[in-house]
């Protein structure tokens, strides 16, 4: 999930909840990390992913809100599945305005088991969720053996 930007207003309450203070400081650290110390307009982060498996497939579902199909890149190389979403700031002309949305790049990589058939992978993006289906190789699928 992308970090949230929190703005501090007024003086810090010295009697505030220590967990709130810790949470606020952690958010600040993550914002600095993802925004390159505040020196860049680039925001880099991660996103939530669900992975499940059955006898024939491995399913990966990644939240990619706001990304279009041409902004998402899925690669599978040497047993590593990599999902990258990259959105660039749209140039606007005219009056000055507040811009909090900017260039965004999110990336996750997953090591896959050797049972995955790298030639049979499907990916689709619908309603902000990327669905990747990885087929397992036939020779590693469980097979039923008849008892005589």
CA distance 20 to 5: 15
Instruction: Provide the pLDDT confidence category of residue 122 given band limits of 50, 70 and 90.
Output: very high
Q: Which residues pair with 124 in a beta bridge?
A: 131
With b for 16 or more beta-carbon neighbours within 10 A and e for fewer, the 103-116 pattern comes to ebebeeebebeeeb
Q: Is the pLDDT of residue 148 over 70?
A: yes
Q: According to CATH, what is the number of the domain 47-90+102-139?
A: 2.60.40.790
Instruction: Provide the pLDDT confidence category of residue 22 given band limits of 50, 70 and 90.
Output: confident
Please state which of the ranges 70-79, 91-100, 106-115, 127-136 shows the lowest mean pLDDT.
91-100
Domain residue spans of the chain = 17-42, 47-90+102-139
Across 33-42, 122-131, 133-142, the highest mean pLDDT is recorded for: 122-131
């Amino acid at each position: 999930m992308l970090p949230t930007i929190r703005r501090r207003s007024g003086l810090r309450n010295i009697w505030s909840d220590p967990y709130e203070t810790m949470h606020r400081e952690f958010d600040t650290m993550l914002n600095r990390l993802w925004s390159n110390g505040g020196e860049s307009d680039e925001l880099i982060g991660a996103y939530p992913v669900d992975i499940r498996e059955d006898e024939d497939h491995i399913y990966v579902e990644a939240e990619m809100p706001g990304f279009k199909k041409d902004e998402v890149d899925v690669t599978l190389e040497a047993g590593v599945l990599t999902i990258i979403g990259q959105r660039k700031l749209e140039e606007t002309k005219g009056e000055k305005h507040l811009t909090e949305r900017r260039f965004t790049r999110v990336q996750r990589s997953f090591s896959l088991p050797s049972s995955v058939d790298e030639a049979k992978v499907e990916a689709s993006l619908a309603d902000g969720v990327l669905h990747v289906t990885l087929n397992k190789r036939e020779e590693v699928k469980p097979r039923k053996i008849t008892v005589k």
